[in-house]
Structure 1
Amino acid sequence: MNYLTYSLKLDNEDSNEYYELVSKISKDFTGKCLRDTGDILKDFMCFIENNEIENLRTREEYFIELLLIGVVIKEYINNARAFKVITRGVFSFLNKLRMKSTGKNKYKIDELRGKLMSKILIKKKYVNKNISLDDIKLIIKWLQATGDFNEEVIRLNNWMKFLENRNNEYIDKVVIECENLNNYLNDIGEKQLHIYTENVESYLKTYGIEHKYKEDYIYCGKSEIQYYFNMVSAEIMNDVYKEKFLKCRGKLVFLPACMRQINTSCKGIIENMGYKCINCSKVCNVSKLTALENEYKFKVYTIPHESLLFNTYDEENNQVGVIGIACVLNLISGGWKALRLGFNPQCIVLDYCGCSNHWMKKPLMTNINYNRLKELTN
């Protein structure tokens, strides 16, 4: 299988047009939807503050979480209704074990996870009834079992605690608003963003041949609405944290392994934050970004896998700005992880996917929009 599921450049020399478009879309979308969901967001923020669940964040951030609820309901309600909750412990054990494992052990665990996912988690049960609080609880348990939605589950659990203290009429109101948000996002996406993700649909028709029984089956099976969600939400998050990011005394840029040149093995040196480029290749995009360190006053590190990324909270993290560069589907979860650990994030979308683990038969060196990098750092 060889698919560019998305491309921000299309036939252009760069992705400037995409960034102009998605910036406008996110502002228009947020403005309208914040008005429509204002009462719910106000209630939720009061709940967060009164119960000292976390330091209160912005309305825009909680709005993204509300939108997330609508997206996962649409995407996974039928999977959740078919989910045998009794199996959750097995998935939880394997997911935790995977985080501690490396090499062959990790491969064997992923092999087992993939088989169990394909036999249990991808099953669907179609029931013609309204979404209930119990349905949302099932969705969260299903998401947790996959191991692919750790940051999302943390935030959805806060909403679950909030809704458990509300009556059925209020819960129905929230569910309807979430579904409306999802539908509105999908309409906008189909009309304006689909040109960048038009290969997703054809990819999903055949990807099961390559990915069934593999641990990335659910991750690779995400439909276009999740691409739209990450594209729009990333712009919102960047706007929210731009000022704090610029004030940080230290700045880090984390790159995915797919930005490395593909002709020879990477000779990067492992450090605390990730792999440090030694500029062994002039054609390598990691090397090109590393060459900008002094000009842009940041440090560049390559992260082969998200699990290697920062994992501990430190009080000094709030003085550090992080630019995460990632494939569309990893943007928001990576930003949420950075936030949870106290960093001030910004993100840049890879112009196209190129990873041979998920999308391509042979790896394709990926790249970013350098104008976008300049905008975020100035």
Structure 2
Amino acid sequence: MTPTITYSLKNDQSHADQYYRDIAAFADQAIAEGDARAAITLRAFEAFLRATERETIRSRAEYLYEFLTLGVLWRVYIRNACELGALPRRALTILSRVRERNQRLKPMADALRGVLTSWFLSPRPRAETSAPRSLEMLERLLGWLQATGDFNQEVKRLNNWRDFFATQTPEQIAAHLSSALAFADWFEARSVDVLGCYTPNVEKFLRETHPRYRGREDALFCGRQRVEYHLNMLGTEILNRALRASFLQTRRKIVVVPPCMRAQPDAKCQARATMFGAQCAACTPGCRIHQLTLLGEKQGFGVFILPDELKTFSGKTTGADDSLGIVGVSCVLTNAPGGWEMQTLGVPAQGLPLDYCGCRYHWHRDGIPTDIGFGQLLRLLEIRVPEQH
């Protein structure tokens, strides 16, 4: 049996079908709870977006998820944000931009970020904080999130909420933030009841393994709290619903998978480079990417290994006659942000979380080949064949 490092959607079963039933039911519950708690705030925010013409109004559930994200990230990181000075924040933000824009300088930027992250961004023990529920504190939180380089998609969306709050009185801002924090409190407690069986080892990992990540560029990413796993699980479900209709209307479908699904290490994998990312060369019959590629050949979808930049796909949706829909596969912590990025690029997409994490870059020294539920993939693609695992 594959060891569970932090999470497993299979929960000791042979497949993850129960997880997908549980997350769908929990999403319904969370949406209803959030709408009951924050309907006034959500309506005011939507009115602000219409008045400022910032974007075409999206679904209420998407804005509710953004509002919940604000509450959860505030609860987890506001203490960190209050303690980060302006100078290290600027330095970390610059390094994050360098690593995004310059692949040649990325190794150097990552090394420096590892050192600075250990000094300035190491997660503080969660505790109640007296930080005022104000626009100034929200801006400090957003500055901290931006400096980490790990929350770019979240910051893009929460910037709209900051600008909305800037139109409100201090009393209204405090009320909105109190609503977000109360919703986040409910979510954390309820998500453990419903989804906790899928994240059994997060706290053990944070306690026993994560201290050895000090000085690493990915220390903050791998140090995510259990509630953040649950938040991203919910995010994938909500974004999949919101983007479902546009995805199903596309003529061509491809599945983009991470390198950690390969059976062979980088040096031995014989995948060939293409415009969409590397494509399996069938070097290892037991490789899950090879097996998925064979399924795609039979069912009419392509399979590619994730390219360095998701914007590779933005120019491929050239019209209804040649539109491209993408199923993006990644670990739970990156799947919902990836969905947001694809939405920004105008690419109709669906997210499919890995059944468990195991890549050697973040989670395991030697790497554990990861997997997905083929049955859930076929459901996303609306291909009706007997489930395969």
Matched, 1:180 2:182: yes
How far did residue 108 of structure 1 move? 2.3
How far did residue 201 of structure 1 move? 0.3
Contact (CA 8 Å) 1:321, 1:345: kept in 2 or not?
yes
Quote the residue 2:301 is aligned against. 298
What amino acid sits opposite 2:81 in the alignment? A
Structure 2: gaps (5+ residues): 383-389
SS at match of 1:271: coil
Q: Check 1:12–1:60 CA distance in 2 against 1; reply closer, same or farther (3 A cut).
A: same
Deviates more, 1:287-296 or 1:231-240: 287-296
How far did residue 317 of structure 1 move? 7.4
Return the structure number with greater relative CO, CA threshold 8 A, min gap 6.
1
SS at match of 2:115: helix
Work out which of the residue numbers 170, 173, 176 in structure 1 matches 2:172: 170
Work out which of the residue numbers 278, 282, 287 in structure 2 matches 1:279: 282
Work out which of the residue numbers 198, 201, 215 in structure 2 matches 1:199: 201
Q: Check 1:262–1:311 CA distance in 2 against 1; reply closer, same or farther (3 A cut).
A: closer
Contact (CA 8 Å) 1:82, 1:124: kept in 2 or not?
no
What is the root-mean-square deviation of aligned Cα atoms in Å?
A: 2.0
Contact (CA 8 Å) 2:254, 2:327: kept in 1 or not?
yes
Contact (CA 8 Å) 2:6, 2:357: kept in 1 or not?
yes
1:281-305 deviation digits (Å, cap 9, x = unpaired): 111111111112234332211116x
SS at match of 1:276: coil
Matched, 1:106 2:109: no
Matched, 1:115 2:115: yes
What amino acid sits opposite 1:65 in the alignment? E
What amino acid sits opposite 1:131 in the alignment? R
What amino acid sits opposite 1:205 in the alignment? R
TM-score where L is the length of structure 1: 0.93
Contact (CA 8 Å) 1:253, 1:298: kept in 2 or not?
yes
Q: Check 1:123–1:236 CA distance in 2 against 1; reply closer, same or farther (3 A cut).
A: closer
What amino acid sits opposite 1:268 in the alignment? A
How far did residue 308 of structure 1 move? 2.4
Contact (CA 8 Å) 1:262, 1:363: kept in 2 or not?
no
Q: How many Å separate the matches in 1 of 2:343 and 2:309?
A: 16
1:245-279 deviation digits (Å, cap 9, x = unpaired): 11112222110111011367211112222111112
Quote the residue 1:289 is aligned against. 292
What amino acid sits opposite 1:197 in the alignment? T
What amino acid sits opposite 1:372 in the alignment? Q
How far did residue 331 of structure 1 move? 1.1
What amino acid sits opposite 1:134 in the alignment? E
SS at match of 2:217: coil
Contact (CA 8 Å) 1:328, 1:349: kept in 2 or not?
yes
Q: How many Å separate the matches in 1 of 2:143 and 2:271?
A: 39
Quote the residue 1:322 is aligned against. 326
Contact (CA 8 Å) 1:6, 1:197: kept in 2 or not?
yes
Matched, 1:359 2:363: yes
Q: Check 1:317–1:346 CA distance in 2 against 1; reply closer, same or farther (3 A cut).
A: farther
Work out which of the residue numbers 329, 333, 352 in structure 2 matches 1:348: 352
SS at match of 1:283: coil
Residue-pair matches, total: 374
